[in-house]
Amino acid sequence: MRILSWNVNGLRACARKGFASWLAGCGAEIVGLQELRARSEQLPAELRAPVGWHAHFSPAQRAGYSGVGLYSRRVPDALDTTLGQPDFDAEGRLQLARYGRLVLANVYFPNGSGAARDNGRVPFKLAFYRALFARLEALRRAGQRVVVLGDFNTAHQAIDLARPAANRGTSGFLPEECAELDRWLAAGWIDSFRHFEPGAGHYSWWSQRGGARARNVGWRIDYVLVSAEALPYLRGAFIDTQVTGSDHCPVGVEVDPAIYG
């Protein structure tokens, strides 16, 4: 079965570019969305309650900002949206959905860029990474098969962005951000895409300026990580660069339905 993730950069805007048709034809069992920038009551009915899907949305307190959404063919056994820290929870960045022994974390990780276009939010971003890591590690210890998908807002290695040398001082490729992803992988998390594809030139986000997408000058910042417990059920991973409608494209995995347990 297919599990997909997509930062839609505003769900209402993406809807005007064909999102509903994409959802109907994507062939997925579960779809996690990030950066919705809307509350559920602001969405048209075909997005708020699409036929054949269970839908859940977790908006930010601040209007027009952040927010995550989850569509699944199967109703979750449990669903949580909190890390227990008010500053994180206010931004609508997390959905933890349990389906049997599968726990799916749909996450919109913070960007480290501050309001002054500096790296002022990097400490907040790294603290969010660490708080989520602790929460997910506890689920692993409890025997759950955990899949973490979303916009991680970090290119892990030089191979994951087109211009690494020019961006060493930019949030999204700072050494301390890359080191945080190193820590996750060292703890046994698997970058599903790199599990199958070691090569360069694969990106999931492109600037909307200068024809970056047409020239494939991008960053791979959208991931699906699987825990070691979920790895035996992983069958494939992909980046769907043909899908437009956002400055990101969908990423996803193919897994054996037995992952539900």
Q: What is the pLDDT of residues 27-62, one digit of tens each?
A: 999 999 999 999 999 999 999 999 999 999 999 999
Cβ 3 vs Cβ 255: under 8 Å: yes
Distances (CA, A) of 41 to 35, 45, 48, 98, 236: 16, 9, 8, 25, 36
Q: State residue 167's pLDDT score.
A: 97
C-alpha–C-alpha distance, residues 54 and 231, integer Å: 26
16 CA to centre of own chain: 22
Give the model's pLDDT for residue 173: 98
CA angle in degrees (0–180, nearest 5) for 135-101-185: 45
Q: How do residues 64-82 score in pLDDT, each as one tens digit?
A: 999 999 999 999 999 999 9
Q: Look up tokens 């986000």; give the residue.
A: 205
Predicted TM-score (pTM) of the model is 0.97
- Is 151 a known active-site residue? yes
User: Could you say which of 151, 160, 191, 247 is catalytic?
Assistant: 151
Alpha helices in the chain, H assignment, sequence order:
11-15, 19-25, 45-48, 86-89, 122-141, 175-186, 192-196
Residue 131 reports pLDDT greater than 90: yes
Helical packing angle, 175-186 and 122-141, nearest 10°: 0
Token duo for residue 46: 């075909």
Extents of the domains making up the chain:
2-260
pLDDT in tens, 154-189: 999 999 999 999 999 999 999 999 999 999 999 999
Q: What is the DSSP secondary-structure string of 191-230?
A: EHHHHH---S---SEE-SSTTTTTTT-EE--EEEEE-TTT
* DSSP state, residue 17: T
Res 117 pLDDT > 80: no
Report the topology of domain 2-260.
Deoxyribonuclease I; Chain A (3.60.10)
CB burial of residue 113 (10 Å; 0-12, 13-18, 19+): middle
